[in-house]
Structure formats: C-alpha cells, structure tokens
Homo-oligomer: A and B are copies of this chain.
Amino acid sequence: MAKAKGEFAEVKALLFDVFGTVVDWRGGVARDVKTLAARINRTIDAEAFADDWRLLYMPAMEDVRAGRRPFVKLDVLHRENLEKVLMKHGIPGKNAIGGLSEDDLDWLNRCWHRLDPWPDSIEGLKRLKSKFIIAPQSNGNIALITNMAKRAGLPWDLVLGAEVVRHYKPCPAAYQLAAEALGLKPEECMMVAAHNGDLLAAKAQGLRTAFVVRPQEFGPMTNRLRHFAGRTPLADPTPYRIDLGPAPEVDVSATTFVELAAKLGA
C-alpha cells in the first residue's frame, strides 16, 4: 500500500472495472426507470429496482463461469434479469395486458449503456491516458461499453472485457487473457477497481492493483441501509457490500481517479 511512483515503473496498461468504479450504475438505472415510470403512469421505487437488477448480475454470470452455459453477452443477461425485476415490482411485462412494449424493454435494458461517470472519472482517465494504455476490463459487452463511452466521453484507448476474452471476471482467464491481448506480462498491467474482490482476483494472476473508493455506489449510506434493511432482495446482497477501503494486499489506493493519476505520476 501507498508505494512510491517509481515502484510502478513497469506498469504499461491500466485495466478498469467499470460498473461502480468508473460509472454510477445505480443512479443511471434509477434515472431511466423513473422516466419510464412517469411515461406509463406507474409508481416504481427506482433505486430499489436498480439494486434488484444489479443483484441478479452475479448469479447470472455464475452459470457462464461455471460452464453450465456458453458465453453470452451481458446485454442478454441483463434482459433476462429485467423480466424478473419487472415482475417483482409489479410491472406488466411484454406479454401481459397493458404490458411494456418490446421497444420499452429494449430501451430500458440499454440504460446500462447510458450510465454517467463519477465526477472525477473523465479528468482522471485523461491524465492516466497520457502515461498508460487505459482500457475497461469489464463484464459489460463491447457495445455496452462503447456506447457508454461515446455518450459520456470516456477516453478509452481500446475496449477489452468479458466479450473480448470470453470469460467473466473474477475468472483467472479474464485477467490473464486481457494482459495477453495487450502483449504484456501480467505485472505490466494494473487492475483498477472499487471492489477488493476484483482486485484480489487480478493480483492472484500477477497484475498490479489499484483501489479507488466509491462510497456512493449503492447510493447515500442512509438509503443503502434503508434498502437493504427493509427489503427482501432477489439475490444474496453480501457480495455487494461497499468496500470503504483497500484490502491490505492492494498495491495503491486513492479516493478519485485524479488522485490515482497523481500517485502513478501521470
């Protein structure tokens, strides 16, 4: 932890977790849920809807990771989970009377393509890009990450991620193959994430690791406690606890991407 700049002289590429680390998925999903709710004259707890949708992410990928299902894009997993979340929130689906149209469902499913970055993300990425190759190594598919970047102005050098390497994080292959695609040794890559689980999985494959704290990932603390105390989530929320600090094994940590750039000499 808190190593000097010179200790990362061998790092050539930074690989970024995206959902929660670069962008605010909860705020973006809730915003579009509210827009749809207003249009169809329904009351929806948009933040709870976002949390429920996100909580189905891990079990959905687990089928692919465990080899029970061939690789499918996250857009497909999101769409399958959307049907479940709509049902839980009492919104009629496509085949119900007065239900959402295919266009509505497709538009809502693509809210993940329209997430906004955290306030420091773009400035920090631009600085980091001046010194390093910067690429998302996200479980989001290529189109999702590309559309998000075009809309928000995220200045990636290239888009890596699950669809390129055909493995979902935290599979070891997801990290190994990302480094290999860049023609780099694992230790020449640094994984950047707000989640210690992601970082420790990367470290186990030899990558360097940077933790950036994102305390608002699940919304304001009071909201988060309210949501998780008063509701029955669709999936076990344990993996979604906020990491308020880096695990001891993590190489460097920062509170923003701009601070990370300063720590890495960019």
Contact = CB atoms under 8 A, between A and B. Distances in A.
Q: How many copies does the complex hold?
A: 2
Contact residues of A: prevailing secondary structure: helix
A133 B158 contact: no
Interface string A2-22: 000000000000000000000
B142 A182 contact: yes
15 contacts: A75-B183, A133-B150, A141-B181, A142-B158, A142-B164, A142-B181, A142-B182, A143-B182, A143-B183, A144-B183, A145-B158, A146-B157, A147-B183, A156-B158, A163-B181
Given A158-B158, A158-B159, A181 B143 contact: yes
Nearest to A183: B143
B150 A157 contact: yes
**Residue of A142, A146, A158 with highest tally of chain B CB at under 10 A:** A158
How big is the A interface, by class? 20 to 34
A158 B183 contact: no
Contacts of A141: 181, 183
A149 interface: yes
Contacts of A159: 157-159
A141 B149 CA distance: 22
Contacts of A158: 142, 145-146, 149, 156, 158-159
Contacts of A183: 75, 141-144, 147
Nearest to A73: B183
Interface string A128-146: 0000010000000111111
Interface in A147-165: 147, 149-150, 156-160, 163-164
A191 to B, nearest CB: 17
Contacts of A149: 157-158
A172 to B, nearest CB: 19
A142 B149 CA distance: 19
A112 to B, nearest CB: 12
Given A156-B157, A158-B158, A146 B75 contact: no
Contacts of A146: 133, 157-158, 182
A-B pairs with the 7 shortest C-beta distances?
A143-B183, A158-B159, A142-B181, A146-B158, A143-B182, A158-B158, A164-B164
